Structure 1
Amino acid sequence: MSVICMRDRKEVLEISYSDVKKYHGSVALMAVAVGYRTLQAAFAELYGEEVPNRKDISIMSGHAGPGFRDVFEFVTRALTRGVYTVNVEYPVAQHDPYRPQSYAYVISTADGKAVEVALRQDFLPPAFYEYLKKGRENAMTEQDEEDFDRLKLELSERAMALSVDELLIVKRIS
């Protein structure tokens, strides 16, 4: 899997998925993988072969979870720079049947270009949402936690293996 190249002042950083996993840990591996692939897709659409500059990127995340936040922060420093927002009510990719939570992200550039990247509805199985619901209700058994961790790991590996078109819907919005 290719790295994400990101300009930070005069230096070009090569950020791998493995780098982001080290930063995040293992709590939300599916989100880290999908977030990483989201940035790859967005940057390809917005910049082609050019290397984006960190200071020019802003992000609206439809998902409030730590995995997405961490990958977006690690790669772009959007949270640190105050250009990261969350809108769980974003009307695209509302796949969770139990709560508002969008699996769509809008990546914007300083010159006004923007792309919406949404997770395909069929990527996450119903069991994923059931585990999330149980977690919010403090109803997870030890076996549930083990099974959910295994599912998140499998989904992260799948997200990294699929083509962009199989995983995401990428749409230029400006």
Structure 2
Amino acid sequence: MLMLLFYAGNNLYAVESSQVVEVIPRVSLRKINHVPDYVAGLFNYRGAIVPVIDLCHLIQGTPSRSYLSTRIVMVNYPVKNNTIRYLGLMAERVTETLDKPDTDLVDAGIQVNEAPYLGEMIMDDKGMIQCIRLEKLFSDSQHKYLLTAGNNSTNDTRN
């Protein structure tokens, strides 16, 4: 399985590359009021209004730093009605990929109820890499206000 690697602070994480549409530089975002702090804002992605989630803020509670390698990872995010929505994930040091067989994924040994998106671990020369489960990134109530506004579906019905 090919994975895109990124950092939140000093910890390494991965997202499955089949879910990645494109990696783009940071862009100007329109700030949204009355949403959780990890919502960095909105921007126009190819004619669609797309929310951007700051993964550093979501995972460790501090905003992404302004490195040249801080990027927005555009992903296909599955929603309940079998459609896919674009979602931007801002992360630090988005510079490389890793190809490992699925059999190298190991249970982290701990389940954090507040962070069900934290998945299995991979042991590598780089250290421990934790996989992000996009399908568990948001609760049902978060889905409602983050991903139902606008028409940013890709008209793709795959899971």
The answer to whether the superposition gives a TM-score over 0.5 is no
- TM-score normalised by length of structure 2: 0.28
Structure with the largest fraction of strand: 2
Normalised TM-score (structure 1): 0.27
Structure of greater Rg: 1
More helix by share: 1
